[in-house]
Amino acid sequence: MGTTQLETVPEPKYWHLKTVLAEALDSEFAVGEILPNERELAARFGVARATLRQALEQLELEGRLQRRRGVGTTVAPPRMGVSVSPLHTWPGAAGDDWEPADCAPGVPPAAVASLLGTEAEEPVHTVRRSRVSGGQPVAAELLYVPEDSVPDLSAIDAPAGPARARAVLRELQRLGLEGEDRAVELGSARAEDAKQLDRLPGAPVLVVTTRYFAFGRTAAVSVATYRADTCRLTFGDSGDVEIHHGQERQAS
């Protein structure tokens, strides 16, 4: 009864390891610095490599580390704030930092079709865009626009590719935007998005689903996947606020 029981619930090794590493990152490493490789770190801490990797995985999930196959593990800079504020403008409006990449007709996934209220197998304009911030890709987007939302689009304008993407976006601007709403959830990058984001398939992403309303219905749906490791999504004007984990220095 009088015994001091510090660990009624024994802490998993990888959890403790993560804490130790996190403290080391704050105090002993600079942003961009390369950590010792996994085999050496595991040996140094006296654990199996798999256990060490469990700790590294969590730190990467929290945006503290960046791991690249064939290169090594580096200390990540603080997450960048990426604004996803409702701007009450259509995608593709002047000033947004998305780059149209492609456009082709395609059947949207069932979840999107249900949001659009289209028939199950009905093809819609599918515009792919990518967003770059701070010199690296942060998001990949698929924008689904039913054919009848942009009736004036001349099919002859551009059969496919970036030119057609721009044409669809241009047509959207003509519509009266009545509103929009957003949802954010956790997902994992599909192969296509992963390549666009310079990550491996399955990497954690924040999926932002936006519905655009016009004519009293959903006129377009955007599904944007943001790199969860490097991005902090901001709503409002908190985009330029710095978040500090601890002391931070720049690698020389």
Q: Helices 13-28 & 49-61, crossing angle to 10 degrees?
A: 60
Site membership for DNA, residue 72 (CB under 7 A) = yes
User: What is the C-alpha separation between 137 and 182, in angstroms, rounded?
Assistant: 21
Closest CB to DNA among residues 141, 229: 229
Task: List the structure tokens of 205.
Answer: 């992403």
Candidate list 43, 48, 163, 184; residue touching a copy of itself; CB under 8 A: 184
Closest CB to a copy of itself among residues 62, 99: 62
Site membership for DNA, residue 13 (CB under 7 A) = yes
Residue for token pair 């490599």? 49
Q: What is the closest distance, in whole angstroms, from the C-beta atom of residue 191 to a copy of itself in the complex?
A: 9
| Cβ-proximal residues to 1 (8 Å cutoff; 6+ apart), any chain | none
With CA atoms as reference, report the closest residue to 107 among 82, 94, 90, 124: 124
Q: How many residues does the chain have?
A: 252
With CA atoms as reference, report the closest residue to 148 among 218, 57, 246: 218
Chain positions 23 to 52 lying near a copy of itself, rule: CB under 8 A, are none
Site membership for a copy of itself, residue 161 (CB under 8 A) = no
Site membership for DNA, residue 20 (CB under 7 A) = no
Give which of a copy of itself, DNA, none residue 79 binds (C-beta under 5 to 8 Å, depending on kind).
a copy of itself
Please check whether residue 205 is in contact with residue 228, taking contact to mean a CB–CB distance below 8 angstroms.
Answer: yes
Closest CB to DNA among residues 199, 211: 199
Task: List the structure tokens of 216.
Answer: 């009293």
User: What is the C-alpha separation between 99 and 82, in angstroms, rounded?
Assistant: 15
Give which of a copy of itself, DNA, none residue 37 binds (C-beta under 5 to 8 Å, depending on kind).
DNA
Candidate list 68, 88, 217, 249; residue touching DNA; CB under 7 A: 68
Closest CB to DNA among residues 69, 174: 69
Q: What is the closest distance, in whole angstroms, from the C-beta atom of residue 12 to DNA in the complex?
A: 4
Site membership for DNA, residue 73 (CB under 7 A) = yes
